[in-house]
Amino acid sequence: KAGVTQTPRYLIKTRGQQVTLSCSPISGHRSVSWYQQTPGQGLQFLFEYFSETQRNKGNFPGRFSGRQFSNSRSEMNVSTLELGDSALYLCASSLGTGRSETQYFGPGTRLLVL
Amino acid sequence: GQQVMQIPQYQHVQEGEDFTTYCNSSTTLSNIQWYKQRPGGHPVFLIQLVKSGEVKKQKRLTFQFGEAKKNSSLHITATQTTDVGTYFCAGPHSGYALNFGKGTSLLVTP
């Protein structure tokens, strides 16, 4: 079974631009979560989607948004990029949503904001 | 809010030495998960602990869940260079999300 895929793998943007990242979960997985990883802050939860509905949202500004499609694929969007948005963005899928679900991570999208 | 703290932040050992990382939560956890991230890679699930006082082993790795379900540890016996990476613990957050600790980065020199 193919793993979680994320596109693009690398991205360079300038301040003020917006960006859309894509995530395809493992086949059969209906939950997709997004995390931001930076050296100083570690893995920080952005949001989780299940059956096209946002189930939970982390403590990030409204510039960060996401959505999930009927095939469970998910996108996240960051508008008005700031230098501090430079990070590795990881998507993780799981079979369902719940406190015991194992997260299967994709390779991530490395975003550099100049 | 709930916090998951990990110590140490970094650990440098000689190959063959043992290694332990500790995870502490400010609240009782229903379960705890451990992940490993190799340099340049992504986090990979290692194990989940659910029961109070639970101990699980995977070859040279031993995982423990505290009696009060507020702390956990990962112990690696006789480290190898393949153990290099960052080890994260993660506990469920009140909103179904996983709350990750900041991880312990392990460096093993031959």
pLDDT tens digit sequence for B4-45: 999 999 999 999 999 999 999 989 999 999 999 999 999 999
Q: What is the pLDDT of residues A58-82, one digit of tens each?
A: 889 999 999 999 999 999 999 999 9
In one letter, which amino acid is B97?
A: A
How far is the alpha carbon of B14 from chain A, nearest alpha carbon, in Å?
24
User: B41 and A102 in contact by Cβ < 8 A?
Assistant: no
Which residues touch A55 (CB under 8 Å, ≥6 apart)? A31, A48, A49, A97, B95, B96
- pLDDT greater at residue B73 or residue A59: B73
Q: Which of B30, B45, B95 sits opposite A103 (nearest CB)?
A: B45
Q: What is the pLDDT of residues A1-59, one digit of tens each?
A: 789 999 999 999 999 999 999 999 999 999 999 999 998 788 999 999 999 999 888 88
pLDDT at B3: 82
Q: Does A108 touch chain B (CB under 8 A)?
A: yes
pLDDT at B2: 61
Asked whether the predicted pLDDT for residue B98 surpasses 90, the reply is no
pLDDT at A1: 72
Which chain A residues are Cβ-neighbours of B3 within 8 angstroms?
Answer: none
- pLDDT greater at residue B1 or residue B29: B29
d(CA B47, CA B56): 8
User: A43 and B30 in contact by Cβ < 8 A?
Assistant: no
User: A105 and B99 in contact by Cβ < 8 A?
Assistant: no
Interface of B with A (CB under 8 A): 30-31, 33, 35, 41-45, 48, 50, 88, 90, 92-93, 95-103
Give the per-residue SS3 of A16-80.
CCCEEEEEECCCCCCEEEEEEEECCCEEEEEEEEECCEEEEECCCCCCEEEEECCCCCEEEEECC
User: B98 and A103 in contact by Cβ < 8 A?
Assistant: yes
How far is the alpha carbon of A8 from chain B, nearest alpha carbon, in Å?
15
Asked whether the predicted pLDDT for residue B94 surpasses 90, the reply is no
Which chain A residues are Cβ-neighbours of B25 within 8 angstroms?
Answer: none
